[in-house]
Amino acid sequence: MPQSKLPIVVLISGSGSNLQAIIDATARGELPVEIRAVISNRADTRGLQRATDAGIATETLDHKAFASRGDYDHALMALIDRFQPGLVVLAGFMRLLTDAFTTHYAGRMLNIHPSLLPDFKGLHTHRRAIKENAAEHGASVHFVTAELDGGPVVLQARVPVHAGDSPEQLAARVLEQEHRIYPEAIRWFAEGRLRLDEDGHAKLDGNLIELAEELASGN
């Protein structure tokens, strides 16, 4: 019997390269998901065009049209829930989320962050890694909680930081790994293998994830 597809909604703010990786993996039959909608807080994004090109429904909800972050998140929740997703995927969604929002989607929202969490939470991760002479850098997929970039990590990929790296060079190396590990983590969730338990711990195949790291590294 073929596996039923998990409905997902993807939130973006920019170019949507991770969205494209998810679209491509789905088209290749590697991801048992149905992307029901792509939602952006900005209308002029390449990511929305990527979704349109793939025949996926798109919506724009401009955060500037709302008086407060809470008002925006309330409207965004209503919009997302119209599509009844089993998983919300943050793919470069550049908004701080309220506690009410993260609680509403607890255990069914993933994010990818361009660092080896818990190192370098927040913005400008590549610049900061170079400035602090980090030997390694990378990307992390994690469950979203109220703490910024603080939810349980489920999968990571490491890349070396080379002497003379610019932030842009390091970012490109990390982004290549993001495109590899994000579809993998989403696949785990869609297959029912990845879950957040009642104590807030990430589990894969029923086992606690203690070392959230892919063995393969970037060059």
Domain ranges in the chain are: 6-208
Pairwise CA distance, residues 192 & 194, whole Å? 6
Span 167-178, average pLDDT: 98
Pairwise CA distance, residues 91 & 10, whole Å? 7
Asked which of 98-102, 170-174, 210-214 is least confident by mean pLDDT, the reply is 210-214
Main-chain dihedrals φ then ψ at residue 184, nearest 5 degrees: -65, -45
210 pLDDT band, cuts 50/70/90, is confident
| Mean pLDDT, all residues of the chain | 95
| Helix/strand/coil for 48 | helix
- Quote the pLDDT of residue 215: 40
- Quote the pLDDT of residue 211: 58
pLDDT at 23 over 90: yes
216 pLDDT band, cuts 50/70/90, is very low
168 versus 211: which is more confidently predicted? 168
Catalytic residues: 113
217 pLDDT band, cuts 50/70/90, is very low
Span 31-35, average pLDDT: 98
CATH number of this structure's domain 6-208:
3.40.50.170
214 pLDDT band, cuts 50/70/90, is low
CB 160 within 8 A of CB 217: yes
Helix H or strand E segment including 177? helix 167-190
pLDDT over 90, % of the chain: 94
